[in-house]
Amino acid sequence: MNILIFSVFLFSIFLSILAIWSTASLMHTLNITDKPDDEHKLHDTNTPFVGGVGVLAALCFAFILLINLHSEHFQKCIVLLICAIIIWSTGFLDDAIKLGYKLRFAIQALVALIMILWGGVVVNELGGLFFGFPLQLGTIGIIFTLIATIGGINALNMLDGVDGLSGSIALVSLLLIGVTTYIAQDQHNLILICALAGGVVGFLYFNLRHPYQRYARVFLGDNGSMLLGVMFAWLLVDIAQNPIPSITPVTAIWLFSIPLLDMFSVMVRRMCAGRSPFTPDRKHLHHLLMKSGFRISEIVFTITLLHGLLGIIGLAGMYSGVPEFAMLLGFLLILTGYFYLTYHPENFISLLRNFDILLNTRLRFAPVSNSKILIGSYSTQEAEALARAISDELGPKMNYWIRLFRKSSEPDHSGNCYAITLNIWLDKKDDFSKEMLRQYIVSLQRRLIEQRSIHLYRFSSRETDFDPVIHSKGSAFGESKVKSRRKLGPQALSFEILR
């Protein structure tokens, strides 16, 4: 069994990479790509949204195996395949021509009903939430499953806003779910999970940023996020409602925690502001981290780590016999705290900025820069104090980054030496003239000198993401590929901080 599972995982990775690589070129040729044509998007280059192709290819491979190895699940496999094709096609059309949200919801509801009525995957009971007594849903279970499935589909879709984030979250959830099915010896679901995990890894090969890949070459797209959302809804309901369940129903929400927390908080916050809960904005958790100065890699690491910890807490509670009511109450307390922090983000952003400074200095997340343009050279304590002084002076409401760079070792220095840069984002919708920018910069420089004895030295050009200087073209809210280099735009003011 172990050899089979490992082989399924490896072959699914290969199949996903091959499918994405072949279709990405075709999408570029046909000009069917995600184009940076509105203020909500963070990227500045046409990018194919074919991540779901790799996941679908791995899923089809799993279906072939399951039909041959577990013929008793033939009907379920066919129903799941139908659901996968419908939701993937809907997502692809939405990526290409932008379907209305009402039509998307109608199709998602149709897929959920197919899953419930034909596949028999439905929430019949919620476990011992009523002080240890089983809470049976009966026919209400159909409505509950319908709502839960639509919610799951859109939760992962709403989280898909930063390179590598949704894929990393999905992979962690699949690994944790895989642990439960392995322990329960649920082989047919374990094969499905390993194939999906391989498909996600293949996608992350193209989407995850790292020193050798400075930007995502493909996006997951609605086709991929909606497909994974359906798969999570199916798997979590199926393994929780089996005659011999792998998890309790309440554990399912812990294994899918961050997407659910973020979706609930964002939608309630929009309704409290008198807007439609489906209106896109820049108030998701990854946007708050970005506003706090986190780099893309730091955002993915932080949110994925938090998601994994919450999932592990859920599994630890289940396996140690913590009452299900207590586990639900614990999750609701976390949800309440999460909503409060994101509903009043000012203090939260200040804490995050200080946390980001510590990530860069104490955990050495700060990238190494050999740039001769950087003048400053500060010890760890000096760099932290200077960064906090800037953070306190500018406050939580202004959009800015504080960047720390480790300077290469110099003969007359021991330990780590840091240079510090400040990047201020101006609103993408605002049209600032050169004179307005000049006046703003002079005013800011004068204020910092008088109140903090801090000098700002403005940069004029930037070579890569890891250099502290800024180009004169592109978008302030993203980075564009121009002659194989990534560029920030004129609406992002970039300075070195000196004292």
Please write the tens of the pLDDT for every residue from 318-337. 999 999 999 999 999 999 99
Please write the tens of the pLDDT for every residue from 145-175. 999 999 999 999 888 888 889 999 999 999 9
pLDDT of residue 460: 58
Please write the tens of the pLDDT for every residue from 348-401. 788 888 888 888 888 777 878 766 778 888 888 888 888 888 887 777 777 788
pLDDT of residue 197: 97
- In Å, how far from its chain's centre is CA 93? 22
**In sequence order, what are the beta bridge partners of 468?**
none
Across 135-139, 180-184, 418-422, the highest mean pLDDT is recorded for 180-184
pLDDT of residue 431: 52
Percentage of residues in the chain having pLDDT higher than 90: 44
Query: Mind spelling out the 3-state secondary structure of the chain?
Result: CHHHHHHHHHHHHHHHHHHHHHHHHHHHHHCCCECCCCCCCCCCCCECCCHHHHHHHHHHHHHHHHHHHCHHHHHHHHHHHHHHHHHHHHHHHHHHHCCCHHHHHHHHHHHHHHHHHCCCCCCCECCCCECCECCECCCHHHHHHHHHHHHHHHHHHHHCCCCCHHHHHHHHHHHHHHHHHHHCCCHHHHHHHHHHHHHHHHHHHHHCCECCECCCCCCCHHHHHHHHHHHHHHHHHHHHHCCCCCCCHHHHHHHCHHHHHHHHHHHHHHHHCCCCCCCCCCCCHHHHHHHCCCCHHHHHHHHHHHHHHHHHHHHHHHHCCCCHHHHHHHHHHHHHHHHHHHHCHHHHHHHHHHHHHHHHHCCCCCCEECCCCCCCCECHHHHHHHHHHHHHHHCCCCCEEEEEEEECCCCCCCCCCEEEEEEEECCCCCCCCHHHHHHHHHHHHHHHHHHHCCEEEECCCCCCCCCCCCCCCCCCCCCEEECCEEECCCCEEEEEEEC
Phi, psi of 482 (to 5 degrees): -130, 110
The answer, yes or no, to whether residue 231 has pLDDT greater than 80, is yes
Please write the tens of the pLDDT for every residue from 111-125. 999 999 999 999 999
Q: What average pLDDT does the structure give for the chain?
A: 83
The span from the CA of 406 to the CA of 418, in Å, is 5
Please write the tens of the pLDDT for every residue from 246-267. 999 999 999 999 999 999 998 9
pLDDT of residue 477: 28
Please write the tens of the pLDDT for every residue from 285-296. 888 888 787 888
Q: Comparing 19-28, 358-367, 474-483, which segment has the lowest mean pLDDT? A: 474-483
pLDDT of residue 178: 96
pLDDT of residue 361: 84
Give the side-chain half-sphere CA count within 13 A for 475.
18
124: nearest Cα among 211, 287, 249, 210: 249
The answer, yes or no, to whether residue 54 has pLDDT greater than 50, is yes
The answer, yes or no, to whether residue 78 has pLDDT greater than 70, is yes
pLDDT of residue 433: 59
The span from the CA of 60 to the CA of 426, in Å, is 46
pLDDT of residue 354: 82
Structural tokens at position 391:
């953070």
